[in-house]
Amino acid sequence: MWMNHENLVRRILQTDWAKGSGCDEAFLVKVMEWTESNVLGDFLAHLIRQVDELINIDPELSEPDLLAEATRHMVEFLGANSASVRIYDPHTEKMLSYGSFPSKEASRATFIPLEGSIAGEVLRTSRPYLVPSIMGEPLYHDKEIVSRRGVRSLMAIPIEIPRFYPDERSMVGVVQIYYPEDKRVFAPVEIQIANLMAKRLSFVVARKKIILMRRTKEKRDSIVEHVFRALGTRGGVKMREIFNKVIPVIADIINVQACTLFSVTSDLKTVVLEAGYPGAGGYHSIGKSFPSSSEPAFELVLKLREYRGNSDYEVVTPSYVLVADPQRSEFISRNLKKFALHHSINSILYIPLGIEGDVTHFMAFDALDYRVRYTEDEIDTLLFMARELMNAQKMERLGDTLHDFKNPAIASAGFARRLKKLVDGDIENSKEQIKKYADILLEETTRLQELALGIYQVGKEQLLNLTEVLERRFEINQEAIREQFKQNIRLKSGKMDRSLVVSCYSINLERVFDNLLNNATKAIPLQGGILEISSYSEGDWACAAITNTGAITDKERIRLEEDGGEGRGLYITHRIMKLLKGELEITGGPDTTTVIVRMTRYQEERPTKPEM
């Protein structure tokens, strides 16, 4: 099996150590034949077993764990002290720590530069790099750590995982194998075996990637299925329900502590938390708004701040912003650092979403594990999920708008019919009534237009008289009652406080009152009852109360207060009230139900007197 016995023997006899040994050519030939028969076979069998074990590493392991297991095989077979893997990240142009044996990831540098490093030299040449003495190697900079670990020499072997798509990058990296000997001479067979095992390691990672691609397709199909299944439900698309079903689908991509979806106002000054996972027991408040300037990471995502850093603690790319260590990153506020520490959040991934370059939403993934890199497959899956959730949110807003179209549309048709009768009759004596109906029609059709535009925006905040808005919506609801021929409903106005001023979006407050009045009307028993409104102040709150005949159980009351129940009206109302930072309370009497809306009263800022 040797390539040429005679040629090898002649080369051996020319060496200094063989010349003085007294060995002749015939003896050396017999030694080689014996070695081939009794040693080489066992060696190759052992090598094949090791390679097979490496190839059969469980592809279900995470990439760092898989690479740590692979380096264990290399260390044990080559008689080394330890080994580590670094993967090239094209976004940062650095080498990322990505697994080692024995595991020392916590103490290893997260990043090392490409230029002026052994790993960078291996990637540049695509050839092994041998370091007989680390202490004398200029490209190895952190000599103190390796000295403490008792390693003095190393060989660095290139690895490459080929691309699967034409526009995809090949994944390249380096395996660095450390030895305790100083001034070590590396045998060619060691280098060849290390190369062989590195190539098989590439095969293992490639197999994992194929499995991940298949699972990615399955996850995407599952995400789409959840969205379309929601379309067919009676209650329509509810973003929070889809969100809570979709996130577990991708939970094995990262160890998800929580995931949140934020919307961004058109001026990019405010972000609003639209949905959060987990829904129950989570630590985020849906509907809460934050100034963009409150979090430097928000500004990075929204491109309001230019990233000039070169830190090991964050990765900023056009596709995402990864904060690899919230406690050390300067782009995390003090409040969020405390929050992350309390909830054991060790990395945060932000993914911006938008239309034609304008960011309208972004997602945040809080992870328990330290993440210094996300693969393109992981990012693509997360982006796909985020886009589907945005589509779901658009459908939810459309469903909300269609739901809230009903009352003003019915009332507008009723007022239009009355107006036509007046116009067809005695116009001269009906001018005041005609003007009133025309004003109402103008107001309601304008509101319908605002509702349609509200699918994408909600207008501007303004000062509103809460009592006047309540009375106006009460009148519109009265017309809807007439148009739907509902019988035996008596309308009452209780005590009304006309000094209640609030600051909010007018269309949102109108939608709250429309939904509550519509629900109260439907809750009145068939035999009839009352529908009453009132308003009053309560400390710093401006309050509106809507009361209807019909008892409610404590269990139903609590359920409606917490999540709005199955109906769409209260679900919409809850979401809007959170956005308005108000409160909703439901109380029950012996035969009545009252819904109370509380909003912060607007107080004019008074100039402070200068100190004397």
Q: Across the beta sheet with 82-89, what order do the strands follow?
A: 111-113, 94-101, 82-89, 171-179, 153-161, 129-131
3-class SS at 376?
Answer: helix
Average pLDDT over residues 384-402: 66
463 lies in the same domain as 579: yes
Which residues lie across from 271 on neighbouring strands?
A: 264, 290
CATH number at residue 355: 3.30.450.40
Q: For the chain, what is the domain count?
A: 4
DSSP 8-state code for residue 486: -
Q: What is the pLDDT of residue 456?
A: 47
Tell me: do 62 and 40 sit in the same domain.
no
Residue 547 has pLDDT above 70, yes or no: yes
- Res. 381 pLDDT band, cuts 50 70 90: confident
239 and 199 share a domain? Answer: no
Q: What is the Cα–Cα distance from 153 to 130, expressed in whole angstroms?
A: 8
- Do residues 205 and 73 share a domain? yes
Residues 171 and 236 in one domain: no
Instruction: Give a yes or no: residue 504 inside a domain.
Output: yes
pLDDT for 1 equals: 45
Domain co-membership, 3 together with 119:
no
What pLDDT score was predicted for residue 406? 65
Whole-number pLDDT of residue 148: 84
Q: Are residues 284 and 206 in the same domain?
A: no
Assign 137 a pLDDT band (cuts: 50, 70, 90).
Answer: very high
| Residue 427 belongs to a domain | no
Distances (CA, A) of 423 to 431, 434, 604: 9, 8, 45
Which segments within 433-573 are labelled E, that is strand? 461-465, 489-493, 501-505, 529-538, 541-549
- Running DSSP on this structure, what letter comes out for residue 245? H
Amino acid sitting at position 304? L
Going by the DSSP 8-state scheme, the letter that residue 596 receives in this structure is: E
Which of residues 360, 379, 395 is at a domain's end? 395
Q: Residue 536: name the closest of 527, 528, 545 by CA.
A: 545
pLDDT in tens, 56-81: 888 778 777 888 888 898 999 999 99
Burial 88-107 (b: 16+ CB within 10 A, else e): bbeebebbbbbbbbebeeee
Query: 240 and 173, same structural domain?
Result: no
Q: Are residues 475 and 590 in the same domain?
A: yes
Instruction: Specify if 441 maps to a domain.
Output: no
Report pLDDT for 232.
Answer: 47
Instruction: Please tell me whether residues 306 and 388 are part of one structural domain.
Output: yes
Could you read off the pLDDT of 291-336 as tens digits, one per residue? Answer: 999 999 999 999 888 887 667 788 888 788 989 889 989 999 999 9
- Domain range holding 501? 458-600
* pLDDT tens digits for range 573-591: 877 787 777 888 999 888 8
Question: C-alpha distances in angstroms, 119 versus 163, 193, 580?
Answer: 21, 19, 55
Q: Quick one: pLDDT at residue 470?
A: 94
Task: Check whether 375 has a pLDDT greater than 70.
Answer: no
The pLDDT tens digits of the residues spanning 405-420 come to: 666 777 777 777 777 7
Instruction: Tell me, yes or no, whether 429 lies in a domain.
Output: no
Sorted by sequence, the CB contacts under 8 Å of residue 515 that are 6+ apart come out as: 403, 404, 569, 570, 572, 573
Region 463-477: what's the mean pLDDT? 90
Choice among 101-110, 228-237, 537-546 with the minimum mean pLDDT: 228-237
CA 441 to each of CA 130, 406, 422, 445, 448: distance values in angstroms, whole numbers, following the listed order: 84, 15, 14, 6, 10
Beta strands in 214-346 (DSSP E): 256-264, 270-277, 289-291, 314-316, 321-323
> Does 119 map to a domain?
yes
Reply yes or no on whether the pLDDT at 254 is more than 60.
no
Percentage of the chain with pLDDT > 70?
Answer: 77
Does residue 196 share a domain with residue 67?
yes
529 falls within a domain? yes
Bridge partner residues of 95 (DSSP): 88, 112
CATH of the domain at 510: 3.30.565.10
Domain stops at, among 180, 211, 242: 211
Asked if the structure places residue 444 within a domain, the reply is: no
**Whether 320 contacts 374, CB under 8 Å:** yes
Q: What is the pLDDT of residue 125?
A: 92
Long-range contacts of 576-580 (CB under 8 A, 24+ apart): 576/508, 576/511, 576/512, 577/287, 577/512, 578/285, 578/286, 578/287, 578/288, 579/272, 579/287, 579/289, 579/508, 580/504, 580/505, 580/508, 580/509, 580/512
How many CB atoms within 10 Å of residue 601?
18
- Both 264 and 387 in one domain: the answer is yes
The pLDDT-based confidence of 542 (bands split at 50, 70, 90) is very high
For the chain, the C-alpha Rg in angstroms (whole number) is 36
Which of 211, 242, 259 lies at the terminal end of a domain, its last residue?
Answer: 211
Distances (CA, A) of 244 to 116, 419, 572: 47, 49, 18
Write down the pLDDT at residue 152: 92
Strand (E) or helix (H) holding 445 = helix 431-453
Q: How high is the pLDDT of residue 434?
A: 76
d(C-alpha 307, C-alpha 56), whole Å? 43
Q: Which two tokens stand for residue 371?
A: 């993440």
CA torsion angle 66 71 72 78 (round to 10): 160
275 CB-side CA count, 13 A: 21
Residue 472 lies in a domain: yes
